Amino acid sequence: AWRSQGGPSWSQERTLVAVKPDGVQRRLVGTVIQRFERRGFKLVGIKMLQAPESILAEHYQDLQKKPFYPALISYMSSGPVVAMVWEGHNVVHVSRAMIGHTDSTEAAPGTIRGDFSIHISRNVIHASDSVEEAQREIQLWFQRSELVNWVDSGHQASCYPS
Ligand code: GDP
Ligand code: MG
């Protein structure tokens, strides 16, 4: 395997990533998955859904007083989203770097928002912004039974037949 499991500095963290309705409409689901896979993260949950307002209200509970909140809920309800749970070392922090600044105008080229979005109100993707938020959001969007604890085959002895 190109990396080893375990060791004191290897965290197995999880985060919630969602391709927002504009990302689905623009056929960016595959691109997003490819970027996370290539970075080295492990997909442990994925589903497409028309997000119910009950989930969106909880998901964005901290933004309910913001002037753009109604527009945000309407945007997030405008079509299906693809929700995913990704696992790996420091995945919360690294995912935020990969998606880029919330305001697409400030998002660096090379980031998902910096490559595929020009406006904060249609910024293609969500990723949890802290480990605590990630746990809350994963529980909100996924049942425990929808997450798959699969083992990297590169970590199994069967990969190295004698
Ligand atoms: P994020 O964690 O980078 O997604 O950013 P926030 O948690 O601050 O905001 C959640 C989402 O609300 C953003 O991704 C945008 O889709 C939307 N949003 C945030 N700020 C604004 C704003 O000023 N105007 C509009 N229209 N949408 C916003
Ligand atoms: Mg946020």
More confident site: 3 or 52: 52
Give the alpha-carbon dihedral of 152, 154, 157, 162, to 10 degrees. Answer: 150
The predicted structure's pLDDT at residue 153? 82
Catalytic residue among 59, 89, 126, 155: 126
Report the separation in Å between the CA atom of 146 and the middle of ligand 2, taken as the mean of its atom positions. Answer: 23
Q: Which ligand gives the minimal distance to the CA of 136?
A: 2
Q: What is the pLDDT of residue 11?
A: 79
Q: Is 126 labeled as catalytic in the residue annotation?
A: yes
pLDDT at 1 exceeding the cut of 50: no
Compute the distance from residue 4 Cα to the ligand 2 centre, in Å.
Answer: 32
Q: CA 91, CA 42: separation in Å to the nearest integer?
A: 10
- With 80 as the cut, is the pLDDT of residue 2 above it? no
Angle at 112 between CA 50 and CA 73, to 5 degrees: 30
- Other C-beta atoms closer than 10 Å to the C-beta of 59 total 23
How far does residue 63's CA lie from ligand 1's centre (Å)?
9
Q: Which of 16, 58, 120, 132 to mutate to test the pocket of ligand 1 (most atoms within 8 A of CB)?
A: 120
What percent of the chain is predicted at pLDDT more than 70?
Answer: 89
pTM: 0.92
pLDDT surpasses 80 at 155: no
For a mutational test of ligand 1's pocket, the pick from 78, 117, 121, i.e. the residue with the most ligand atoms closer than 8 A to its C-beta, is 121
- Strands 125-127, 13-19: pairing is antiparallel
Report the chain's mean pLDDT, rounded to a whole number: 93
For residue range 130-154, list pLDDT tens digits in order.
999 999 999 999 999 999 999 988 6
Reduce the DSSP state of residue 96 to 3 states and report it: helix
